[in-house]
Structure 1
Amino acid sequence: MVTEFAQIEIKPGMEEAFIAGVAKSRPLFLAAEGCFGMGLQRSVEEPTKFLLMVQWESVEAHMVTFRESPAFQEWRNNVGSCFVAPPAIWHGATVV
């Protein structure tokens, strides 16, 4: 299993719209093949910065299966207008 880490900066004033868009999109992630869970963290010091964490069966489950699905397009429609720039994404595996 891998975790997708997506560092996302939101346009000032759109934080609540982004949070609502993520909540609306949660079922899309949870229904996706190879997805085991997701969560969103918000920076206390910089409230326009967020970290989306999604647990995937594999990098391919995220980067191919999900990203080529209609659910990915719906996710982007729900939140994309809030982004300052495209999210910085990387995948991690637990080592300890």
Structure 2
Amino acid sequence: MILELAILDVKPGREAEFVAAFAEAQQYIMRIEGYISHSLQKCIERPGRYLLLVNWHTLEAHTVGFRASPEYAEWKKLLHHFYEPFPTVEHYEKVLG
């Protein structure tokens, strides 16, 4: 299993609009083969910062399956204009635990 981690910094004053858009956009990621689960969490110390965690069966499920899909185009349309700066995405695999 692969864990995708993205820190999402949302433009000030757009947080509620972002959360509403994410609620709609999440349907697109959930349709992708290799998707397992996701969560969106809000930072307590930094208003406007969110943490997106997505579990995938493989790295390619995200980097190829999702990013090359029509669903990703819809995801981008709904969400990418909220970010400042654009998020860096990293992938992790379990070592212990």
Both proteins in one fold, TM over 0.5? yes
AA paired with 1:11?
Answer: K
Which sections of structure 2, spanning at least 5 residues, go unmatched? none
**Deviation for aligned residue 1:82:** 0.7
AA paired with 1:29?
Answer: I
Provide the C-alpha distance between the structure 1 equivalents of 2:94 and 2:48, rounded to a whole number of angstroms. Answer: 27
AA paired with 1:45?
Answer: E
Task: Indicate the residue corresponding to 1:93 in structure 2.
Answer: 93
Tell me if structure 2 keeps the 8 A contact 1:34–1:57: yes
Provide the C-alpha distance between the structure 2 equivalents of 1:59 and 1:25, rounded to a whole number of angstroms. Answer: 21
Tell me if structure 2 keeps the 8 A contact 1:29–1:37: no
Structure 1 runs (4+) greater than 4 angstroms displaced = none
SS of the equivalent of 1:33 reads coil
The root-mean-square deviation of aligned C-alpha atoms, in Å, is 0.9
Task: Indicate the residue corresponding to 1:71 in structure 2.
Answer: 71
Task: Indicate the residue corresponding to 2:2 in structure 1.
Answer: 2
Provide the C-alpha distance between the structure 2 equivalents of 1:55 and 1:65, rounded to a whole number of angstroms. Answer: 14
TM-score (norm 2): 0.94
SS of the equivalent of 1:18 reads helix
Task: Indicate the residue corresponding to 2:42 in structure 1.
Answer: 42
TM-score (norm 1): 0.94
AA paired with 1:60?
Answer: E
Task: Indicate the residue corresponding to 1:56 in structure 2.
Answer: 56
**Deviation for aligned residue 1:73:** 1.0
